[in-house]
Amino acid sequence: MLCSPTQAVCPSLGTFIRQGIAGDQKGNVCMHFNKRIMITGGCGFLGSHLCERLVEQGHEVLCVDNCFTGSKRNVRHLLEYPNFEFIRHDITFPLYVEVNEIYNMACPASPIHYQFDPVQTTKTSVHGAINMLGLAKRVKAKILQASTSEIYGDPEVHPQPESYWGRVNPIGLRSCYDEGKRCAETLFFDYHRQHRLRIKVARIFNTYGPRMHPNDGRVVSNFIVQALKDEPITIYGEGNQTRSFCYVDDLVEGLIRLMNTPDDFTGPVNLGNPGEFTILELAQKVIDLTGSKSTLVFKDLPQDDPRQRKPDIDLAQKALDWQPTIVLEQGLSKTILYFEQLLKELKVKNAQDAPHLHN
């Protein structure tokens, strides 16, 4: 949990912060910020949790987001902290700042969002990577790429180790995201080989938790919102396809541990929960935990939807001393509480806006 803004760095002294230095009202320095860290996509689901954790650790955090899919609401509680700063910016354009580390998290990650403007999605992955790598090269920063399990496509190897090259359709509806992320990995390793840039690459598997977008089309948020509204739960295909679900707190811990590894460890490294569930099993867990009256409806499987997804996390366990600790039921319960509150807020807002619509 974050303490109050006045206690964020040194509670006993009632600190203030100037240029990355904390001190008391007499100007006595009590500590320096460890690092100045930039997080692209910092207003998104994963990015906002990462911002929060790094602010809590006392780092100076620069959140960069164009807020296409991310929301300033996700970092609103951080704006009053003196070691947090927000810049609205699209990383397909260059950015000139001074930082020690970069977490490149920016890119629409759900099919609904990344298929809305597929050309821009590819630009975000490719041009965005080039711009952030260029920045890292100029300021000699260490940089982490938030890659994805989608680079494995519809896998023929199960579970998926980092050595697996994947099975991806290069011209399908999902290709703007899948191939964009694959190209970004190529760029990261070419910058590492050619310019000796310090890089880290994380392949992130399905992650869930508070601050997921309620309308992003992802399976966990979809099921929870539908269940809380007692609406039919939409299953694509027969529901036998499998996924592995990692709670956001575990994922953030993995990212930070990866960033803090020695420079000779680049990854890629899988970050995800190896617990494997069918989509039908997930739907039933959500119904049970919400006490919903929802029924199941079945629709055609989308193009190139993977049949199975499960990370091999042996490398993460050995190199990062990391593995998930939060079981699915526990994480779902926390996520359901978040969506319950969010739906209540939206209901109140809609009720307040309704009279204006008739004026």
pLDDT in tens, 327-344: 999 999 999 999 999 999
Q: What local confidence, expressed as pLDDT, does residue 13 receive? A: 28
Closest CA to 259 of 32, 39, 6: 39
Q: What local confidence, expressed as pLDDT, does residue 20 receive? A: 41
Query: What is the extent of the structural domain holding 44?
Result: 17-211+247-274+307-326
Q: Quick: pLDDT tens for 205-244.
A: 999 999 998 888 889 999 999 999 999 999 999 999 999 9
Q: What local confidence, expressed as pLDDT, does residue 128 receive? A: 96
Q: What local confidence, expressed as pLDDT, does residue 214 receive? A: 86
User: Quick one: what percent of the chain has pLDDT higher than 70?
Assistant: 87
Q: What local confidence, expressed as pLDDT, does residue 359 receive? A: 54
Residue 335 lies inside a defined structural domain of this protein: no
Q: What local confidence, expressed as pLDDT, does residue 284 receive? A: 96
Q: What local confidence, expressed as pLDDT, does residue 301 receive? A: 83
Which residue in this structure is represented by tokens 């006490």?
291
| Cβ atoms 358, 233 nearer than 8 A | no
Which residues have CB under 8 Å from 31's CB, separation 6+? 9, 10, 22, 58
Which residues have CB under 8 Å from 78's CB, separation 6+? 2, 51, 52, 55, 61, 63, 84
Amino acid at 236: Y
CA distance 167 to 174: 13
**More confident site: 125 or 33:** 125
CA distance 53 to 256: 9
Q: What local confidence, expressed as pLDDT, does residue 353 receive? A: 64
CA 239 to chain centre: 25
| Cβ atoms 82, 16 nearer than 8 A | yes
Q: What local confidence, expressed as pLDDT, does residue 115 receive? A: 77
Q: Quick: pLDDT tens for 89-99.
A: 999 999 999 99
**More confident site: 124 or 216:** 124
Q: What local confidence, expressed as pLDDT, does residue 191 receive? A: 98
CA distance 123 to 129: 9
Residues with catalytic roles: 177
pLDDT exceeds 70 at position 354: no
**Tokens, residue 297:** 């409806």
Amino acid at 130: I
- Grade residue 3 by pLDDT with cuts at 50, 70 and 90: low
Residue 127 lies inside a defined structural domain of this protein: yes
| Cβ atoms 181, 123 nearer than 8 A | no
Number of domains in the chain: 1
Q: What local confidence, expressed as pLDDT, does residue 246 receive? A: 97
**More confident site: 177 or 273:** 273
**More confident site: 11 or 201:** 201
Residue 206 dihedral angles phi and psi, to the nearest 5°: -45, 125
Residue 156 lies inside a defined structural domain of this protein: yes
Query: Mean of the pLDDT values across residues 271-292?
Result: 96
pLDDT exceeds 50 at position 10: no
Residue 292 lies inside a defined structural domain of this protein: no
Helix (H) or strand (E) holding 258: helix 248-259
pTM of the model: 0.87
Residue 294 lies inside a defined structural domain of this protein: no
Q: What local confidence, expressed as pLDDT, does residue 111 receive? A: 72
Residue 4 lies inside a defined structural domain of this protein: no
Q: What local confidence, expressed as pLDDT, does residue 30 receive? A: 43
Q: Quick: pLDDT tens for 34-67.
A: 899 999 999 999 999 999 999 999 999 999 999 9
Instruction: Order across the sheet with 29-32: list the strands.
Output: 16-18, 21-23, 29-32
Give me the CATH number covering residue 110: 3.40.50.720
Residue 75 lies inside a defined structural domain of this protein: yes
* Distance (Å) of CA 316 to CA 144, 200, 247, 320: 15, 13, 16, 5
The mean pLDDT of the chain is 88
27: left (phi over 0), alpha (psi -120 to 50) or beta: left
**Tokens, residue 346:** 């939206």
Q: What local confidence, expressed as pLDDT, does residue 206 receive? A: 93
Q: Quick: pLDDT tens for 145-186.
A: 999 999 999 889 999 999 999 999 899 898 888 899 999 999
